[in-house]
Structure 1
Amino acid sequence: MNPESSKLYTYADYVQWDGRWELIDGKAYNMSPSPTWEHQFAVMELSFAFRSHFQNKNCYVAIAPFDVRLSESDDYTYAKHVVQPDISVICNRNNLTPNGCLDAPTLIVEVLSPSTALKVYLII
C-alpha cells in the first residue's frame, strides 16, 4: 500500500504498509532508496562503539530498521510519530517491546544524508 500524501496516519495504519516508512506528525515518509555504503559503514562503526560502551550498563543498542513510537498519550497504537533512527540506545528496559521502542530512547543517532536532513528538521 502507498499512503496518500495529504492524509494523516497513525501506527495502526503504518503496520499495514509494505516497505520502509516513517511517520512524523501523522505524515508518511518513504525511506527508500537504501543507504549508501559510507552511511552503513558509519552506522556500524558507531553502533560498535556504543555497544562496547553500554555493555555493562543495562542499556541496549539497536540499529535500523527498528521502530521508535512517540505518542502524546499512553496509547501507542495511534501514535502519530514512528521513526527509525539509525542507532537507538535504550536504557529503560520497560520501553522495549517485540515491535521496537515505546517513547524516546535514551540516545538516538541519525547519520545524515540529503534525504534525511529535512526529516530531522521536521522532528526538531
Structure 2
Amino acid sequence: MAIPNEKEKYSYADYLTWNEGERLELIDGKIFNMSPIPSRRHQQVLRELSTAFSVFLREKDCEVFFAPFDVRLLADNKRDDDINNVVQPDLSIVCDKEKLDDKGCKGAPDMIIEILSPSSVKLDRWKKYQLYEKAGVHEYWIVDPINNSVEIHLLIDAQYKFQGVFTKDDTISVNLFPDFKLDLNRIFA
C-alpha cells in the first residue's frame, strides 16, 4: 500500500500497513524516508561494528541488532495506534529481553549507533539525538565513516553529556561494557 499524504501524524499501526520495500522511520508521527540505500563504506563500517559487538556479546545477556530492525520508542504500555516513534538504527544493543518481540524492540535499547550518510546528518545529529535522549537510550554513538570518527554521548541525569570524538588511532571503551575495548583502526580499516 502506498503511503497516504493526508495525515498530519502517523502511528506504528499506519507504519505496519506500508510497503515493506520502503525504508521509512517515524519521529513524532512524521515520516522520514531513509533512501537512498547506504553506501558501500557505510556497510563496511556497520559490518565491522556489528561483528565486534556480536563477538563480545556472545556470552552476555545483551543482543545486538542491525537495520532493518524496528525500534518503537516511547511506547511503554501503548497500543500500535498510539506509538508515534519508530526508528531503524544502524545498530541497537538491547539487554532487557522483555523489550524484544517478533516486531523488534518496544522501548529504548541500552545503546544505539547511527552511521552518518550525507542524507542523514541532520536527522542523526538533531532529531534522533533528541528522541533517543527523551526515550532514555543510555549510550548514543554517531559514527562518521568519511572522517573515521566516533562521537559518544552518555545519558546522565536524563540528558546527554558529550564524551568526546574518537578517531581511527583510538581504542575506546564502551560505557555499557567497561571491559570491552574497541580498536577504531580495525573498524575503519
Q: Give the shorter-chain TM-score range.
A: over 0.9
Q: Quote the sequence identity (%).
A: 44
Match of 2:37 in 1: 34
**Match among 82, 103, 106 for residue 99 of structure 1:** 103
Pairs aligned (count): 124
Q: Is there any run of 5+ residues in structure 2 with no aligned partner, and where?
A: 131-189
Q: Deviations over 1:41-61 (max 9, x none)?
A: 100100101111111111111
Hey, what's the Cα distance between the residues in 1 that align with 2:28 and 2:79?
14
Read off the aligned partner of 2:72 and give its amino acid letter: R
Match of 2:52 in 1: 49
Per the normalisation by structure 2, the TM-score is 0.62
Hey, what's the Cα distance between the residues in 1 that align with 2:105 and 2:116?
21
Read off the aligned partner of 1:71 and give its amino acid letter: L
Q: Are 1:69 and 1:76, in contact at CA under 8 Å, matched by a contact in 2?
A: no
Match of 2:127 in 1: 122
RMSD: 1.5
Match of 1:79 in 2: 83
Q: Is 1:61 matched with 2:64? A: yes
Counterparts of 1:11-26 in structure 2 under 5 Å?
11-18=12-19, 19-26=22-29
Q: Name the structure, 1 or 2, with higher relative contact order (CA <8 Å, separation 6+).
A: 1
Match of 1:4 in 2: 5
**Greater Cα radius of gyration, structure 1 or 2:** 2
Q: Are 1:76 and 1:102, in contact at CA under 8 Å, matched by a contact in 2?
A: no
User: How far is 1:115 from its partner?
Assistant: 1.3
Per the normalisation by structure 1, the TM-score is 0.93
Q: Which moved more, 1:50-59 or 1:9-18?
A: 50-59
Q: Is there any run of 5+ residues in structure 1 with no aligned partner, and where?
A: none
Hey, what's the Cα distance between the residues in 2 that align with 1:72 and 1:96?
12
Q: CA distance change for structure 1 residues 119 and 3 in 2, over 3 Å: closer, same or farther?
A: farther
